Amino acid sequence: MRVAQTPEFLESVANHPSVFPAVSRKGQGCIDLSGVWHKCIGLEFEGGGWLFDRLDMGRYEVHTLFLPKSRHTREKAAQAKRYLFTATDALELVTRVPDDLPHALALARHMGFKDAFRRDNAWSRDSGDVGMTYLRLTIDEWAQDSDELQSIGQDFHDKLGEHQTHDEDPVHDRYVGLGVACALAGQPEKGVWLYNKWARFAGYQEMEFSDGVARFDNTEVFVINNELQVRTICQ
């Protein structure tokens, strides 16, 4: 996976003769991303990638752009989703899928997107108008369904050893894992904010954060050389 610095690669995929009919409207000319690139995040993989268009603060619309017969698309989608939720300000992903792209709808639902609503005749094709399904996925929905985040949270609790302050809790593991994943992706403030937002509702102690260090009880957590460090504060 590469974070795109320019739109050329994704434009080349979007304008490929086998892709263009699926991603374009009736009468649309060559797809040019230069006008919106300043508010987009592009992720490139072999055979294509994703364009994430920032609609609002923390809200991105997902555009899938892959050549036919691209392999391991679901695994690539999982990587892209993790990057958006942990390494950027993304809190919600949304996408629109025309009725004539059932494979794209299946991929979106496999990745956890939930139907928000649909509209008939919402997308114009050369062959006629088709309906559109609108889907969304929030960071909380992703976190609560992520075995990977639960594993990260369990590893964190293992590092605490005898200093753990609560019984095993899989949901807590997932939100701790979310905080850790954000910190390791360069977004520690986001990670602490997300954990605290959940903790206030769930009845757990919140973390304090300053100078790159998260603190709770007599424990400090920080990142050095892309590795999570946990230490006990002497009383």
* Residue extents of the structural domains in the chain: 2-141, 146-232
Of the candidates 148, 54, 133, the one whose C-alpha atom is nearest the C-alpha of residue 93 is: 54
Q: Mean pLDDT, 10 residues at a time, over the chain (235 residues)?
A: 97 96 90 96 97 97 94 94 98 97 93 96 91 98 95 84 69 93 93 95 90 79 78 66
* pLDDT on residue 90: 98
* pLDDT on residue 203: 92
Q: Rounded to whole angstroms, how far apart are CA atoms 48 and 37? A: 17
Of the candidates 38, 39, 41, the one whose C-alpha atom is nearest the C-alpha of residue 10 is: 41
Q: Rounded to whole angstroms, how far apart are CA atoms 230 and 233? A: 10
- Six token digits for residue 48: 């294509």
Between the alpha carbon of residue 97 and those of residues 74, 137, 144, 154, the distances in Å are 17, 14, 25, 36
Between the alpha carbon of residue 128 and those of residues 22, 95, 100, 118, 122, the distances in Å are 13, 21, 11, 17, 10
Question: How many CB atoms are located within 10 Å of the residue 151 CB?
Answer: 13
Q: What is the DSSP letter of 207?
A: P
- The CATH architecture that domain 2-141 belongs to is 3-Layer(aba) Sandwich (3.40)
pTM of structure: 0.90
3-state helix, strand, coil in the chain (%, to 5): 40, 30, 30
* pLDDT on residue 161: 65
